[in-house]
């Protein structure tokens, strides 16, 4: 059994999860990103790839035979049943991969980025929940500047996410991301020291 303290980092789309994770990473903290894990386990040479194609058809592939993730996102965020089907295929493998990766970590704690933590009710899989909180108008602005997605797709993604109030109910720790990068650095530095202390007590 691993002695590494696991911190689930979550927040709404565009809340600043990647920015916060990068600051932790610069402090030497191991980061596991479930979006990256999802891409790794659904590459064409992986068993799960065939399951996705069987469910959604070859029309979700690019010309080079890779998953067209924007096309797939448009399907699942417009069809609840399709989204649940994909989650049923992906989530067990994602959490299996997280466990394998955490077992290999030699550090007091690690941060696992998991956007739909509350929505999938998987809080119990982690020692602590860290919520990155941001005003919705700031989230929308960040996403539209960062990602090549339509406002309609963004709206559909926001609709399936729990609201801020509900997400904050599950937080052990909160980082407010409505200020400056200096504010973020200070918040993460405080949490870094806190998690090291908690990890020492756990062990």
How far apart are alpha carbons 158 and 174 in whole angstroms? 20
Contact between 77 and 83 (Cβ < 8 Å) = yes
Tell me the β-bridge partners of 64.
none
Give the chain's domain count.
1
Tell me, what's the pLDDT at 152? 83
Strands 173-176 and 109-113: unpaired
How far apart are alpha carbons 42 and 40 in whole angstroms? 6
The tokens describing 174, both together, are 């909160």
Regions in the chain scoring below 50 on pLDDT: 1
How far apart are alpha carbons 119 and 116 in whole angstroms? 5
How far apart are alpha carbons 18 and 100 in whole angstroms? 22
- Tokens 């202390």 map to which residue? 197
- Domain span holding position 112: 5-202
pLDDT, tens digit, 9 for 90 and up, residues 43-93:
999 999 999 999 999 999 999 999 999 899 889 988 989 999 999 999 999
Compute the half-sphere exposure of residue 19: CA atoms within 13 Å on the CB side of its CA. Answer: 26
Contacts of 154 (CB under 8 A, 6+ apart): 13, 140, 143, 144, 147
Instruction: Residue 125: give its domain's CATH number.
Output: 3.40.50.300
Tell me, what's the pLDDT at 141? 82
Tell me, what's the pLDDT at 145? 78
């Amino acid at each position: 059994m691993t002695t590494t303290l696991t911190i689930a980092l979550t927040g709404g789309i565009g809340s600043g999860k990647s920015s916060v994770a990068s600051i932790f990473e610069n402090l030497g903290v191991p980061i596991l990103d479930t979006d990256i894990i999802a891409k790794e386990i659904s590459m064409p040479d992986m068993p799960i790839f065939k399951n996705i194609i069987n469910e959604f058809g070859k029309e979700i592939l690019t010309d080079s035979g890779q998953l067209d993730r924007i096309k797939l996102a448009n399907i699942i965020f417009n069809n609840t049943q399709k989204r649940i089907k994909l989650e049923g295929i992906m989530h067990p493998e994602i959490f299996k991969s997280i466990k394998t990766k955490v077992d290999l970590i030699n550090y007091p704690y690690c941060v696992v980025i998991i956007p739909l933590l509350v929505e999938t009710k998987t809080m119990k899989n982690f020692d602590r929940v860290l919520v990155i909180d941001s005003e919705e108008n700031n989230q929308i602005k960040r996403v539209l500047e960062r990602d090549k997605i339509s406002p309609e797709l963004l709206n559909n993604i926001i609709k399936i996410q729990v609201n801020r109030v509900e997400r904050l109910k599950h937080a052990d720790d909160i980082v407010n991301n409505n200020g400056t990068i200096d504010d973020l650095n200070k918040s993460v530095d405080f949490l870094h020291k806190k998690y090291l202390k908690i990890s020492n007590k756990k062990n």
